[in-house]
């Protein structure tokens, strides 16, 4: 555990950091140098800040701490996916995944330790939510996965998806701050268009995304366009009905002009009939969108089964015939429990 009497330096913005430097009788421009080391160069100790005097580095070390995230364990899938167990400064573990394909190199990152939602098909939903991640802890996952991509595949990250452990919109401020640091010219300088935040559907927070005029992509885990079915697998729907979600999405689109992606896991004998596709097509009329049909990945807590291939193909054909941009997503990293819905920390 870090010394709690020290200030978490990455919790400070540049102005606050400059104020601390003035209080330390140090020139304010030094704060900008430190900020650059922290966010552009992603260093994890004051000792690495080579353009600062040894005396200043010692002073920083006495007053501040850097809550660095480290890789506790990395598992390599047969399909080259890499699943990481990230150890946080307080000993908690979250998981994040590097997903390499021919076209892109994607980091899937977590936003909470555990999850407060209880989606029946998701392994994380069977864990308790211990706490939210800070912005720098989300940022560190991206940095570490980017390093992994370069080391293993000699290609930098191209995309980031907030689809790991936790519900990003229930850690709203830290998620948005992490994205600000990832996209900032004095941060990682990645494009907003390369970032997707996925939500189980918190209607009031989707509206807040609209109010804040966010530029990143939004994905909604839908999985059924029928309140009764959706509530059966996602108890969140009690306060976030399809009607409430439709209103929130329309508001979001009106404010941002960003189309939405619907994620739809096709479960055998549950939501895989043409009637289900008809309901989804109807829901798709609310805002410009595309649909990702996702293969179900088994978990030990639930007995759902992936729909048959011909059912998924027929489902996709129906949507496409109704003018809906539809992709069928094949699972990656299933053999190491790194696929969608399989992330759950098994170590104590």
Catalytic center residues: 95, 340
At 276, list the tokens: 């289900």
E-strand spans in 18-169?
Answer: 64-65, 70-76, 82-87, 93-100, 105-108, 112-113, 131-132, 159-162
Q: Do 207 and 248 touch, CB atoms closer than 8 A?
A: yes
Contact criterion met (CB below 8 Å) for 331 and 298:
no
Please report the sign of the dihedral spanned by the C-alpha atoms of residue 264, residue 265, residue 267, residue 270: negative
* Other CB atoms within 10 Å distance of the CB of residue 210: 20
Asked if residues 111 and 138 have their Cβ atoms less than 8 Å apart, the reply is yes
DSSP letter, residue 220: E
The residue whose two tokens read 């508001």 is 251
SS3 278: helix
Question: CA 64 to CA 17: how far, in whole Å?
Answer: 11
CB atoms within 10 A of CB 191: 12
Distance of CA 203 to the CA centre of its chain: 18
- 259 with 289: CB under 8 angstroms? yes
The answer to whether 222 and 186 are in contact (CB under 8 A) is: no
């Amino acid at each position: 555990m870090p010394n709690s009497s020290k200030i978490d330096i990455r919790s400070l913005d540049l102005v606050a950091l400059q104020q601390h430097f003035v209080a330390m009788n140090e020139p304010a421009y030094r704060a900008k140098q430190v900020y650059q080391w922290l966010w552009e160069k992603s260093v994890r100790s004051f000792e690495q800040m080579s353009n600062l005097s040894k005396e200043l580095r010692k002073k920083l070390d006495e007053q501040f701490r850097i809550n660095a995230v480290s890789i506790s364990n990395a598992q390599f899938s047969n399909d080259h996916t890499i699943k990481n167990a990230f150890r946080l400064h307080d000993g908690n573990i979250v998981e994040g995944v590097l997903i390499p394909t021919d076209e892109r190199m994607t980091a899937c990152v977590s936003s909470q330790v555990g999850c407060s939602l209880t989606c029946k098909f998701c392994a994380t939903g069977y864990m308790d939510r211990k706490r939210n991640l800070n912005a720098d802890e989300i940022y560190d996952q991206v940095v570490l996965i980017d390093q992994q991509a370069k080391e293993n595949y000699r290609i930098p990250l191209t995309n980031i998806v907030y689809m790991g452990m936790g519900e990003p919109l229930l850690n709203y401020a830290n998620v948005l701050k992490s994205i600000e640091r990832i996209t900032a010219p004095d941060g990682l300088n990645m494009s907003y268009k390369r970032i997707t935040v996925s939500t189980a559907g918190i209607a009031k927070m989707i509206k807040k995304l609209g109010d804040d005029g966010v530029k990143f992509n939004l994905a909604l885990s839908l999985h059924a366009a029928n309140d009764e079915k959706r509530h059966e697998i996602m108890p969140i729907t009690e306060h976030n009905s399809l009607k409430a979600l439709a209103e929130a999405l329309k508001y979001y689109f009106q404010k941002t002009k960003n189309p939405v992606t619907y994620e739809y896991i096709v479960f055998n004998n549950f939501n895989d009939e043409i009637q289900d596709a008809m309901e989804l097509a109807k829901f798709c009329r609310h805002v410009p969108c595309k649909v990702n049909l996702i293969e179900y990945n088994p978990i030990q807590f639930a007995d759902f089964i992936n729909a048959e291939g011909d059912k998924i193909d027929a489902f996709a054909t129906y949507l496409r015939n109704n003018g809906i941009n539809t992709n069928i997503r094949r699972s990656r990293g299933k053999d190491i429990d790194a696929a969608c819905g399989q992330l759950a920390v098994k170590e104590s």
